[in-house]
Amino acid sequence: MKTIEKLRKEADKLFYLYVMQLHNNCCEICGEQAVTAHHFILKSQSAELRYNPENGISICNRCHCKIHIQADMETINRIITIRGQEWADNLYKIKNQVFKKYRGINYYKDIIKQLKEPAN
């Protein structure tokens, strides 16, 4: 039987692969080769959005550093411009809701199953 920590790591990896596949491994901000999947609403800010593909942005190192190290609002606003204000508003709405969901073994197994489905 897998532990929750192992399942979480597997789900994190599958989220990354899913988001990268959705956007053909291209940075959604500058068009360069993407190397990671950035959470628009950070994982620490919303457990509910951690594995939601709508919250994933395929991104290159340069743009990722602009967001995390420089807190560059221009880059963040560019994501919103590209994806749309309605998209951002929907994510913020989910972020601000209170969820009391138990995230045990079955939760992670369900997430892993969903993320193994081909991205559209």
Question: Shortest CA distance to 95 belongs to which of 105, 103, 87?
Answer: 87
> Can you give the residue ranges of every domain in the chain?
4-111
- Tell me how many degrees the CA angle 4-7-9 measures, rounded to the nearest 5: 110
Position 79 scores a pLDDT of 94
**pLDDT tens, 6-31?**
999 999 999 999 999 988 899 999 99
Average pLDDT, rounded, for the chain: 91
The count of other CB atoms within 10 Å of the CB of residue 9 is 13
Q: Higher pLDDT residue, 71 or 87?
A: 87
pLDDT in tens, 77-89: 999 999 999 999 9
Mean pLDDT, residues 89-114: 88
Distance CA 55, CA 12 (A): 13
Q: What pLDDT is recorded for position 88?
A: 96
